[in-house]
Amino acid sequence: MARMTYAQAACLALRQEMERDTRVWALGEDVGPEGGVAGQYLGLQQHFGAARIVDTPISESMIMSAAIGSALLGMRPVAELRYADFALCAADEIINQAAKIRYMLDGQVRVPMVIRQPIGMRWGMAAQHSQSHENLWVGTPGLVVVAPATPADNHGLLKAAIRADDPVVFMEHKELWLETGDVDESAEPIDIGKAAVRRGGTDITLLSWSKTANSCLEAADLLAAKGVSAEVIDLRTLWPWDRNTVFNSIQKTQRFLIAHESPRVGGFGGELLADIAEVFWGQLKARPVRLGSPRIPVPYSKPLEDICRVGPENIAQAAALLCQPSP
């Protein structure tokens, strides 16, 4: 067990997978000597050479096209798109090519690749560098979507994503890059599609992913001080998502709240709420609630940026209201 940052954990996972399988390689902007924007590729080009850690021009469509071609020929590329916002420049390649080729060719070929898209707000990076588009990728048939919240999960889930036989959109939160945690360096890949119960509880289920899952843990502490027992579930994988773990929790608590950083309007939380409500119609003690950011571009100004954030206080306040006794 070692203490390391979220970025270091991902770097370790990629190094281990490249050592395990010579078909694994990575490409993207500044992944070579610079080692990525947060050091998530640091030292890998020096170790594996410029043929396996490949610096590319500033062209997301080219990065994705090269990665798709490589995957179709039997390699396992890791395509770094630097920020999730820039993935939109490669939307055709991701949505119309990578996601659909296996289906259109009746399974004769597969596209085993990882599409790394750092998501979320980070200290004044403003409207074009702060977005979370998980709802877009979840709504695209053929894609697996993963969003780790801890260094250990970033390590284990990246291993799993590299070994998957379908394209995986791997969404790392930028504000987690420097967060530290214990990582088992010899850990096996984490099962894709398996949520984590971060904290047990009996009064309400807090359901989230990525950085907001950590905010739910902080909210659970605030709620505990008020006598409310909150269970916190980190989905980890958005598609496929772990219905069994979520449903078992809600069956127990009979209340739930969904929180995420992406806009509330059109967010994946709405889809989750609809699916859960269809199953638990008439069984809940309180109406379900979803929290998300407002439908505005993320501002550069710190005070205005904070308006977009879904923090522990927001979550705890909304959850406490759901747990109040009925009049």
- Sequence letter at residue 130: S
Neighbouring C-alpha atoms within 13 Å toward the C-beta of 105: 12
Strands 180-183 and 2-5, sheet pairing: antiparallel
Separation of CA 177 from chain center: 13
CB 103 within 8 Å of CB 149: no
pLDDT at 175 over 80: yes
Q: What is the pLDDT of residue 327?
A: 61
Section 228-247 average pLDDT: 98
Instruction: Give the residue among 93, 96, 97 at the shortest CA–CA distance from 81.
Output: 93
Q: What is the pLDDT of residue 125?
A: 82
Structural domains in the chain, CATH included, are 2-183 (3.40.50.970), 196-322 (3.40.50.920)
Alpha-carbon gap, residue 263 to 135, rounded angstroms: 10
Cis preceding-peptide flag for 151 (omega within 30 of 0): no
Alpha-carbon gap, residue 4 to 13, rounded angstroms: 12
Instruction: Give the residue among 5, 318, 28, 281 at the shortest CA–CA distance from 154.
Output: 5
The tokens for 147 are: 């969003």
Alpha-carbon gap, residue 27 to 71, rounded angstroms: 13
Alpha-carbon gap, residue 170 to 158, rounded angstroms: 8
Section 212-237 average pLDDT: 98
Q: What is the pLDDT of residue 162?
A: 98
CB 5 within 8 Å of CB 151: yes
Strands 114-116 and 53-55, sheet pairing: unpaired
CB 79 within 8 Å of CB 73: no
Helix H segments across 122-242?
134-138, 151-163, 210-224
From the candidates 47, 129, 155, 260, give the one annotated as an active-site residue: 129
Alpha-carbon gap, residue 148 to 173, rounded angstroms: 8
DSSP 173: B
- Name the pTM for this structure: 0.96
- Each residue's pLDDT tens digit, 38-55: 999 999 999 999 999 999
| Coil/strand/helix, residue 221 | helix
Phi, psi of 126 (to 5 degrees): 70, -170
- Each residue's pLDDT tens digit, 262-274: 999 999 999 999 9
Mention every residue, 6+ apart, whose C-beta is less than 8 A from residue 185. 1, 2, 12, 155
Is there a catalytic annotation at residue 47?
Answer: no
| 248-251: long-range contacts, CB 8 A cutoff, minimum separation 24 | 249/197, 249/205, 249/207, 250/205, 250/276, 250/280, 250/284, 251/280, 251/283
- Each residue's pLDDT tens digit, 88-137: 999 999 999 999 999 999 999 999 999 999 999 888 788 888 899 999 99
Q: What is the pLDDT of residue 326?
A: 67
